[in-house]
């Protein structure tokens, strides 16, 4: 289950203590390291949108408890939603003056995506702003690992130079078992000549591998999807700094390193 609002240490600590009344697994939590607090705080602000219901269902959430007095003013009508707007995937099954409970009963299907295929990386070169062992990210070995420390005051990047241009659709970062290294704030820049760059995608609330951490915690990954298939020979993954950060709870205290075991590049199917 999950209790809203989420991501406030005071509220999450209280929910964690009070979970002793029901002993159900709780998405909320508080500890010395809480890498998903900022993500869920922003992502679940949109509950009960289709993406939020879909993710909650995927991670096994059945119950969503809403504490109305603690919610953002824009969310205080959440319990009064027209039930037809969320049926048949969710329903309000309890309501009183202070709270309500949603039951997640299913999930809307994800929108279909254009087919793509893996780009062979033979002959590709890689470099990094930190200039330290970036070749580990494309050596074909999941046991090797490129990692760099996060400095909130500046951007860092990992650049892939392909032998030829491809219509890039997405990048998949293989994280191995290192959940805490997923990209919170990222941008993908592309170029044909390695000199003139343009932005192909930006994300200020990166999706953590919360589904895989439950099913295959040793083989985590994160997808960076471009806004549209974009022809490029040079691709740069940029870790953004604090100037681009949304309001968050301890984002930098919980994002100390960024790492990659392998990068998979995908291109559009002709």
Domain closes at, from 81, 104, 127: 104
Locus of tokens 């074909």: 140
Tally the domains of the chain. Answer: 2
Question: Domain containing 36: what range?
Answer: 2-104
Residues 69 and 137 in one domain: no
The candidate with the shortest Cα–Cα distance to 130, out of 143, 147, 144, is 147
How many degrees, rounded to 5, is the angle at CA 19 between CA 16 and CA 25?
90
Is residue 238 within 8 A of residue 155, CB to CB? The reply is yes
CB 90 within 8 A of CB 53: yes
85 and 206 together in one domain: no
Do strands 63-67 and 2-4 pair parallel, antiparallel, or not at all (unpaired)?
A: parallel
Beta strands in 114-240 (DSSP E): 116-118, 125-128, 146-149, 156-176, 186-191, 198-203, 220-239
The domain boundary, picked from 104, 137, 164, lies at 104
- How far is residue 74's CA from residue 91's CA, in Å, rounded to a whole number? 20
Q: What is the DSSP string of 27-72?
A: S----S--TTHHHHHHHGGGTTSHHHHHHHHHTT--EEEEEGGGS-
Tokens of 2: 């999950």
Q: Are residues 222 and 120 in the same domain?
A: yes
Q: Are residues 123 and 217 in the same domain?
A: yes
Q: Are residues 232 and 143 located together in one domain of the fold? A: yes
**pLDDT in single tens digits along all 270 residues of the chain:** 999 999 998 999 999 999 999 999 999 988 888 899 999 999 999 999 999 999 999 999 999 999 999 999 999 999 999 999 999 999 999 999 999 999 999 999 999 999 999 999 999 999 999 878 899 999 999 999 999 999 999 999 999 999 999 999 999 999 999 999 999 999 999 999 999 999 999 999 999 999 999 999 999 999 999 999 999 999 999 999 999 998 888 899 899 999 999 999 999 998
Same-domain status, 96 and 120? no
Q: Please tell me the pTM assigned to this model.
A: 0.94
């Amino acid at each position: 289950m999950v209790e809203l609002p989420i991501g406030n240490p005071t509220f999450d600590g209280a929910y964690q203590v009070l979970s002793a009344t029901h002993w159900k697994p709780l998405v909320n939590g508080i500890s010395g390291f809480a890498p998903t607090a900022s993500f869920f705080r922003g992502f679940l602000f949109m509950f009960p949108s289709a993406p939020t219901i879909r993710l909650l269902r995927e991670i096994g959430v059945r119950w969503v408890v809403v504490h109305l007095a603690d919610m953002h003013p824009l969310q205080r009508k959440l319990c009064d939603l027209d039930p037809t707007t969320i049926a048949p995937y969710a329903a309000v099954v309890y309501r009183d003056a202070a709270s309500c409970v949603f039951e997640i009963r299913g999930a809307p299907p994800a929108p279909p995506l254009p087919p793509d295929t893996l780009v062979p990386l033979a002959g590709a070169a890689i470099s990094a702003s930190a200039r330290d062992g970036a070749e580990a990210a494309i050596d074909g070995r999941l046991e090797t690992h490129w990692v760099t420390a996060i400095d909130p005051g500046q951007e860092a990047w990992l650049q892939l130079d392909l032998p030829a241009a491809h219509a890039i659709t997405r990048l998949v970062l293989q994280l191995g078992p290192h959940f805490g290294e997923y990209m919170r704030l990222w941008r993908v820049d592309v170029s044909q000549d390695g000199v003139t760059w343009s932005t192909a995608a930006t994300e200020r609330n990166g999706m953590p591998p919360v589904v895989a951490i439950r099913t295959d915690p040793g083989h985590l990954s994160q997808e960076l999807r471009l806004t549209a298939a974009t022809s490029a020979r040079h691709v740069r993954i940029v870790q953004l700094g604090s100037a681009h950060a949304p309001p968050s709870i301890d984002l930098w205290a919980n994002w100390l390193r960024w790492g990659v075991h392998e990068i998979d590049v995908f291109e559009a199917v002709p």
